[in-house]
Amino acid sequence: AQSVTQPDIHITVSEGASLELRCNYSYGATPYLFWYVQSPGQGLQLLLKYFSGDTLVQGIKGFEAEFKRSQSSFNLRKPSVHWSDAAEYFCAVGGGLTGGGNKLTFGTGTQLKVEL
Amino acid sequence: DTGVSQNPRHKITKRGQNVTFRCDPISEHNRLYWYRQTLGQGPEFLTYFQNEAQLEKSRLLSDRFSAERPKGSFSTLEIQRTEQGDSAMYLCASSLASGGAGANVLTFGAGSRLTVL
């Protein structure tokens, strides 16, 4: 069964500092990996995704993530955090459903706080 | 493209009552998903439709839960005889079939928050 581990429940960084959020996955085949962000009371917004090819993927809002198969990791990074980045971040692994749908299995999330 | 719309956004009900949530997906999307998110957890898969056919259901979807997508457009999720443990955010997502499963990117709605007293 597929699973995702986000070891950091809370992270606090200063505005302008760099950020790395950790994600480890377990999946039997080539994984489809995603990072979503959720602001309070809101749904999930896709930041970036990895399907295949270049292991460094770029997303929206200046985020990037690197897929490392040997470490089963897909860590999210941003070189300089803005106060508006404060939110909860979810890593997810996707797999095929009957008919080709994409079932996402999410981690428990990392709550990011940004200090001004 | 007006995104995925969910109604109501908030619902407070008493234990034992029935509640229904509605999801309007992005119009050209043929796949629709329901997820449940409890406090401090990531969303958990409940069920999935391709057009009007319900193709998969999670074991989380007890017999008190029923989901429909009668014309392959909007969907409803009904919970009968609600229990306090049903309190959660119910998220709907939709996607367009294209290429392999991995190319299936889900767009989520803002969710419907249920509080059972």
DSSP A31: P
Among the partner residues B104, B109, B113, nearest to A101 by beta-carbon distance: B104
Positive/negative CA dihedral, A8, B40, A50, A59: negative
From A71, A93, A73, A76, select the one nearest A27 (Cα to Cα): A93
AA identity, residue A92: A
pLDDT digits (tens, 9 = 90+) for A32-90: 899 999 998 788 999 999 988 899 999 999 999 999 999 999 999 999 999 999 999 99
- B91 three-state secondary structure: strand
CB-CB contact of B35 with B102 (8 Å) = no
Interface membership of B91 toward A (CB under 8 Å): yes
The whole-number pLDDT of residue A99 equals: 65
B-chain residue closest to A111, CA distance = B40
A92 within 8 A of A33, measured Cβ to Cβ: yes
- Please list every residue in chain B whose beta carbon sits closer than 8 Å to the beta carbon of residue A101: 31, 33, 48, 50, 55-56, 95, 101, 104
Residues 6-25 in A contacting B (C-alpha not used; CB under 8 Å): none
**Rounded Cα–Cα distance for residues A55 and A74 (Å):** 9
Whole-number pLDDT of residue B89 = 96
Q: Check if the beta carbon of residue B75 is closer than 8 Å to that of residue B47.
A: no
Task: Give tens-digit pLDDT for B18-63.
Answer: 999 999 999 989 899 999 999 989 999 999 999 999 999 998 889 9
CA atoms within 13 A on the CB side of B14: 0
8 Å CB contact between B42 and A106: yes
Does A102 lie at the interface with B, CB-CB under 8 angstroms?
yes
CB of B39 less than 8 A from some CB of A? no
CB distance from A40 to chain B under 8 Å? no
Question: What's the pLDDT at B10?
Answer: 97
pLDDT band at residue A13 using 50, 70 and 90 as cut-offs: very high
Q: Which residues contact B48 (CB under 8 A, 6 or more apart)?
A: A97, A98, A101, A103, B31, B32, B33, B34, B54, B55, B56, B57
More confident residue, A32 or A91: A91
Band (pLDDT 50/70/90 cuts) for residue B1 is low
Q: Is A108 an 8 Å CB contact of chain B?
A: yes
**For the segment A103-114, what is each residue's pLDDT rounded down to a tens digit?**
889 999 999 999
Q: What per-residue confidence (pLDDT) applies to A95?
A: 75
Q: How far apart are CA B90 and CA B19, in angstroms?
A: 12
Determine the pLDDT at residue B28. 87
Q: How many CB atoms lie within 10 A of CB B62?
A: 11
Counting every residue written for chain A, the total comes to 116
Test the A interface: residue of B104, B112, B113 with most A CBs within 10 Å: B104
